[in-house]
Structure 1
Amino acid sequence: LHLQLGRGLDALGSGLVFTAIGLGYLLTSNATHLVTARLGERRTITAGGLLMAVGLGLLALAAYDAGHASVWWLAPGLFVDGFGMGLVIAPVTTVSLAAVERGLAGAAAGVVATVQQVGGAVGIALIGLVYYGAGDPAAAFGRSVTALAVLELVLVGLVGLLPRRS
């Protein structure tokens, strides 16, 4: 929304800017098992969540100078956010399913996937309320990514509530 409504990019241009998040995700998601083997699942999830919060913070800083800077100033924040995301997704799934009996693993994986999808949809709706409630597109983007950064820090704090392996 920020790139198209606030900065005048078309869908292709916006998508090109967002390749930075995909690149960050790709780089870490393929190596997360190595990080997890070294740090453990909880520390990997925490590190990834903190990196996501840093990436979102960088996006917020770039957003408040949006009228003057190139949209490519968003790329570092998107990259760091994606980098952290790659460290979070697989270990969260592993930890969430760790205590489930073998015979229920398929059903439990379906529940985890469903919760992730519903959580994503609800999250987008709530951040959409923040975005549209702000008015000015640059301020709206800044407030939205700031809210996401704060929520990410809250989620990092909740990592300790994840089930422990037996």
Structure 2
Amino acid sequence: MKFTIGVIVSNSFGVLNRVTAVYSKRGCNIDSLSVGETENQEYSRITILSEADDYLIKQIFKQLEKLHDVREAFLFDDKNSFSREHVFIKLSVNSKSKSKIIVKVNDFGGKIIDFGNDFVSFEISNTHDKISEIINKFKKHEILEVSRSGLTAISYGTENMLRVED
């Protein structure tokens, strides 16, 4: 089962390595990872998407909470949070396919960011699974380049927030 964990950590060297080591030591691959500084420059927020059974998820979560650099950890789910991923896609086009591709990009809620006679580049934000689906739909065209941001997530409401508090 897919799961997403958000972690507030000290913003210092080696922390990301220690966090990802928790996953690798348990043979758990990371499907998506995003890291960014929080409102307090001393801390970073890490969001990790992975896949495991319930037992392994609990083990990973417990181990993350034990790390010295981890200030707080939170297990996101569809009921308590929402998530998004951003993707840039560059496709090869010709005069026949260009207008159809532009229509398809708009249908997916995307935005054209660059184009030329033989290519079009666009961006789309959506869920991780939907981004994967969109990339697959464009595979019938020649994909020149894909750059995914990594999943970010935030809780609904104000009760289960991951935040830095002194």
Point out which structure has higher relative CO (alpha carbons under 8 A, 6+ apart): 1
Larger Rg: 1 or 2? 2
Given the two structures, how large is their TM-score scaled by the length of structure 2? 0.25
Specify which structure has the higher proportion of helix: 1
Given the two structures, how large is their TM-score scaled by the length of structure 1? 0.25
Specify which structure has the higher proportion of strand: 2
